[in-house]
A and B are shown apart, each in its own frame.
Chain A
Amino acid sequence: MDYLEYLLDPEHWDLAVTGNIPSLVVDHLYYTVITLVIASLIAIPVGLYIGHTGRFSFVAINAGNAGRSLPTLGLIILLVTVIGFGLLPVIIALVILAIPPILTSTYAGLRAINPASVDAAKGMGMRPIQILFRVEIPMALPLILSGLRSATLQVVSTATVASYVGLGGLGRLLVDGLALNQYDRVIAGAVVVAALAIVLDLIASSVQRLVVSPGVSGRALTRTSNKAPSSSVGPATATAG
């Protein structure tokens, strides 16, 4: 039996055929995007609040641990019994999965900010909201985005469980493949999920390069070391670390 037969069969990539792989990918992305948007809307403001004020920091710290130990499949089944079938229980379960990494890293990003910069911002006459958007968020952005990236990876791989409760997405290939003892189908599902995760992470890292200042990402330092040492910058850079 050819392990890649299902994956490589052109028929499974034909958009006219029901259950084709591209349409499963679209479904899968749909669940992922909805989940990440909702989770970010909850976790980023809460993380900013906790990080900014230092209050309720145990929530941010414990959320990370709780999130890791929560069985998403069990949660979905619980939610389905409570709410019934449909998209809602799946999205709720995935959002609960995605919140901890975003919340924890947003909190950590804000706590890692050099307090002197915040003191200077306040002392120069920035108002609290200006401090948050012009100083704290840009400085915490690398960590906030890394939280988003790990949440993305977790959600992409876990969104396969949607199929257990009758929804689409790439989980269909896994669930149906297992049910039919069609292992090339299972492999196709696994490979496409992995590929999707890698592609999303590559996109996220490009976005990160665009929005994070070279001054906080560390790129400013590597950039000068590539250049010929002009004027007195070389030794200054060496001592700055």
Chain B
Amino acid sequence: MITFDKVSKTFPDGTLAVENLDFELPTGKITVFVGPSGCGKTTSLRMINRMIEPTGGRILIDGKDVMSQDAALLRRSIGYVIQHAGLFPHRTVIENVMTVPNLIGTDKKKSRATAMELLLRVGLTESMANKYPVQLSGGQEQRVGVARALAADPPVMLMDEPFSAVDPIVRAGLQTEFLRLQGELGKTIAFVTHDIDEAIKLGDKVAVFREGGHLAQYASPQELLENPANDFVADFVGRDRGFRSLSFDSSGVLVLDSVDSVRSGSEILVLDDAGRPLGWAGPGIADERSPLSVAGTFTAADSLRVVTDLAISSPVGIAVRVNDSGVADGIIRHPSLVRQLDERRRQRAGTAS
């Protein structure tokens, strides 16, 4: 657990970067610091490993004040990943990964084996080990950066906008793999981003910072979307927060109509012999032999957001659910979905008050 105990930071020029910051980062979880630029989120992150030193208050890692420890030794015990990876260009990939083990004095053979394992773990191949950073793409560099931070198996990781310098597609892939990796490792992670979508996707907890280094809200992503503490948070989270909050609820709660209800009539779901949906047909829609594409189905494991999106984008306003073998086992019409979402909202309002 990382504790911010009334932490303040005033820079020598008088700028107040962080004021009276008071919150806790839970062990084994990802806590995302998010906010506009100049809000003190990076300063707060960098105070954890003393890259910046607080001018007031204390930061404790598992109850131990970071200022009471030798700065270099403290940093070796904390993983550190930064925006442009900051790899050492004169060292090979494997040498980069072995940086902290070498500083600690781990046996070379052992740290080499660990480093090799980590490369595979972050999605690189053994053939990359002896390449130099100039030979890597931006996404590969970030993977090496993550492997390097993990090399000495630190319980705490600090990540400062690690994925913001790569293109959106690579970023989405890195985020997904990062979550998978965290599922295996369970590190205590502090993660800085200016991208609210990234914060909501990755965070177990999200700390929204506002100008002057104040904490505007500290909550789970879902709570942030559904109950923003104030206008600043509501505005920062964005306009489609209602829609995005649907990602946190399973579609399992929905009452569906049977597939038989769309086997005849004005909208017909065309199935193959096994019962898998092929497309939509019907008078004024399409011929049964060349039906309109279903363009996606959902399973009981998908979120309400997926179902809503499917219902909106379907040519007939109907989302189709399939079971694990792809056989259609239920449908939901747009009006029915809206009614059920409305009921969900009422229930929530009821439990909240």
Interface residues of A (CB under 8 A from B): 114, 116-127, 130, 134-135, 138-139, 141, 212-216, 218, 220-221, 224, 230-231, 233, 235-237, 239-241
Contact = CB atoms under 8 A, between A and B. Distances in A.
Nearest to A240: B134
B49 interface: yes
Contact of A220 (B131, B138, B145, B148): B131
B89 A230 contact: no
Contacts of B140: 236
Contact of A123 (B73, B82, B90, B137): B82
A186 B340 CA distance: 101
B87 A117 contact: yes
Contacts of B100: 124-125
Contacts of B127: 230-231, 233
A123 B80 contact: yes
B83 interface: yes
Contacts of B86: 114, 116-121
Interface of B: 49, 51, 72-77, 80, 82-92, 99-100, 103, 125, 127-128, 131-138, 140, 145, 148-149, 158
A239 B138 contact: yes
B72 A138 contact: no
A135 B103 contact: no
B133 A215 contact: yes
B135 A114 contact: no
Given A119-B82, A231-B127, A236-B140, A221 B90 contact: no
Given A117-B89, A213-B90, A124 B103 contact: yes
The winner among A118, A230, A233 for most chain B CB atoms within 10 A is: A233
Contacts of B99: 121, 124
B99 to A, nearest CB: 6
**Which are the 9 A-B pairs with shortest beta-carbon distances?**
A120-B86, A215-B132, A125-B76, A213-B90, A116-B86, A125-B75, A123-B80, A220-B132, A236-B137
A116 B90 contact: no
A221 B134 contact: yes
B88 A117 contact: yes
Contacts of B72: 125-127
B137 A138 contact: no
Contacts of B145: 120
A106 to B, nearest CB: 16
